[in-house]
Structure formats: structure tokens, C-alpha cells
Amino acid sequence: MLLNNKQIAIVGGGPGGLTLARLLQLKGANVKVYERDINADARVQGSPLDMHETSGWAALRKGNLIQEFKKNILQDADKKIIVNKRAEIIFSDHETEPAEDLNNEPSRPEISRGALRKILLESLQTETVVWDSHFVSMEKQNEGWLLHFKNGSSAYANLVIAAEGTHSKIRPYVTNIKAFYSGFTMVEINIDDAKKAIPDIYTLLNGGKIMAFGDGKCILGGQKGNGSLGFYVSFKPGENWVANSGLNFSDRTEMLAWFKKEYSGWGIIWHQLFERATMPVVPRPIYCMPLDQTWQALPNLTLLGDAAHVMPPFAGEGANTAMFDALELSECLTSGQHPTLKDAISFYEINMRNRAAIAARHSLENGELMHSECALDKMLTILNIK
């Protein structure tokens, strides 16, 4: 096997990185995951993920993690309602969408990010994850790399896989191609104990997801698996809106006033999002890698997930694509079909970039649709209910 007597460093302990570690360990590889978090509970995990059958679900199946996954499926989280800007229900599948059959493999089961992380972490060998390892830099050493971390420690690896997300510090060692601003910005809002804090909206969601459209803007929201709800206020400002807005994103009164102005004409029910939000709310300009990006493969370094192909979230492909990256990369490194590490990495990267370009294009198109003036009508047409 290409990985015999090789030390592998995966930088980043998200779904992609942890999935890769699991799959490589099943093949006997020597793997360490270097994660910036202090421990597994250091960060509140984001909105739930729906696992797609041919990507995220396929990776879990290969990792022999299906049964553990099924124990943590969020029932009804896949159900959705579509509303107009006044929060009037235009479409709901709560009555028509059957409950997930856990005896079979669900089509797009949902799980909280925290639960998925726990499943993946518990599947790894003891001390696989090296916590408090915030990557700073690395340098070539022998045939591999010497990695340096913010806490002053260093580690050597024959092969490094960057899985540390959108702002990857390892990506520049592979390519100088940078992401472009997609035209969309989202303001992330989290609300704890939502049943008590925003009972009207909590009841409206009924355990599932909500999508609201109007005036070229949208609001997306859903449960997070711990009694909290997460929402994204999404619109199309200029790339430098966050810096130029002058807003204090920790000031509830200021953010509510901004929302009332930016979303004027929307129902007052939405004001609850800012009135009850856990502050600060978080502005997120959305970026996307060029769809035609390419680079020359290296023999000891590669990328997966957002580090390789960050894209807008409007197709639900981010984590699924990262986990499928992990599946394909693990196969390339361990199948015996490639004569050298460089050949294996090159084969993986070509396929990965092609797949990611298709997903990113779909996501960009969805984003334009969802932020169009006639978004509500278009969504209803897509769902064949108009």
C-alpha cells in the first residue's frame, strides 16, 4: 500500500477530515488529525446536515457507521414549509412526507453536526485527534512536511491533507487560486431554548425547516438538535458590506433596526429573530472557488472539502461533498491502483474538482433563484405545486 510506513496529517476535524481519518484507519494507515479546537465540546456546532445517498451517506456506509448514524437521526428535520414574507404558509410537506423508515436507508436523513462529529470521533483510535493544534505554517522536510502550530508544537508528516475549511492556511501551498465573492451575504442568527424564546416561529417550523422568500431576499431556518434554532437572513449586498455597514453585530437594538429597514414590508413575526437572538449575530459573506480551477498535483499534499472547493450553501452539498472527497481520496490512496502517491493524488484531485464544479454551479444557480424578485413563484413551480 502507498501509505505503508507513512505518517499522515489531516489538518481540520470537520466532517471531511474525520471521515477521511476513519476510512484510512480501517485500511491500517497511521493518521493524526490536528484540530484547532481545545476539545470536542469547544464549539457550538451549526445547523443540521442532511446526508445525501451517493455522497455523505455513501461515506458513512463505507466507514461502517450507518447503525450509529441511525440512532441520531433528527426525526421530521427534513420536512419543510415555504412561506411568503408575511410568514403565511404557501407550501408544507409535514402531512404528506412520510417519516423516515429507520429499518431501511433513508433518502436524505438529517443529523445535528454535533452528533455527527461525536460518531466520527468515537470511531477513531485513541489519541488520533490532537486538540489545540491551530495550524500556522509548514516547511518541506525530507520527503514530507514539518507542520507548526500556534501552541508552539510541531509535527512531521509524509502526507498532509488540508481539511480546515474556507480560510485554509494550507491551500496556498498547493495553489494561489482564490475564491470569488458569490454576491450573497448571510447573517447567522442562533436562538437558544427556542420553544420559549420565539414560540410563534417555533410552532411554525414544527420541528422542520422554513424558507421565506420576498423582495429578492430570503430567510432560511431550522432546528439544531438541542432545543435551539438557527436562521440565516440572506440578501445580496456588495462584497464589502460587512466592513462598510458600520453595524455593531453585537448590538441587538442596532441589528433589529437594520433588519426592519432592510426587510421593510416583511411581517413583524420576523422581528423576534433579532429580539431573541444570542448575540452577536454573525455576518457571513459567501464565497465560491472558480468552477474551472486547476493545479499541478503534489506528491505529499492535497485538499478536501471547503479548503479545496468552497461553494454557496444553497444546494446542501458542502459537508456531503467533503465527505465524498474523503471517500474518494481514501480509495485512491489505498486501492493499489496507482503506482505513486502523486498519481493517486492527481487522480483524486481531477475527479474532485470536476464534481465540485458541478455542485458549485448548481448552488450558484439556486442562490440566484432564491434571491430573485419572483423567488416564491419559482420555488413553487420547482416543487410542482403551481
Residue 162 sits in the same domain as residue 298: yes
| 56: confidence class by pLDDT, cuts 50, 70, 90 | confident
Annotated binding site for FAD: 50, 113, 306
Handedness of CA 312, 313, 318, 321 (dihedral sign): negative
Return d(Cα 346, Cα 174) in angstroms, integer.
12
Q: Please write the tens of the pLDDT for every residue from 93-105.
A: 877 655 545 555 5
Among 247, 265, 288, the domain-final residue is: 288
Total domains in the fold of the chain = 2
Annotated binding site: 43, 50, 113, 306
The boundaries of the domain holding residue 258 are 180-288
Mean pLDDT of the chain: 90
| 56 against 278, higher pLDDT | 278
pLDDT given at position 79: 80
Q: Please write the tens of the pLDDT for every residue from 163-222.
A: 999 999 999 999 999 999 999 999 999 999 999 999 999 999 888 889 999 999 999 998
Residue 257 sits in the same domain as residue 339: no
pLDDT given at position 206: 85
Annotated binding site for NADPH: 43
| pLDDT of 112 above 80 | no
Residue 118 sits in the same domain as residue 203: no
| 380: confidence class by pLDDT, cuts 50, 70, 90 | confident
| 77: confidence class by pLDDT, cuts 50, 70, 90 | low
DSSP state of 55: T
pTM of this structure: 0.91
Q: Please write the tens of the pLDDT for every residue from 340-368.
A: 999 999 999 999 999 999 999 999 999 99
How many C-beta atoms lie closer than 10 Å to residue 153's C-beta?
12
| pLDDT of 295 above 80 | yes
CA nearest neighbour of 162 among 24, 293, 298, 302: 302
Q: Please write the tens of the pLDDT for every residue from 215-260.
A: 999 999 988 767 889 999 999 999 999 999 999 999 999 999 999 9
CA nearest neighbour of 120 among 35, 48, 17: 17
| pLDDT of 49 above 90 | no
CB 380 within 8 A of CB 91: yes
CATH number for the domain including 129?
A: 3.50.50.60
Among 288, 308, 342, the domain-final residue is: 288
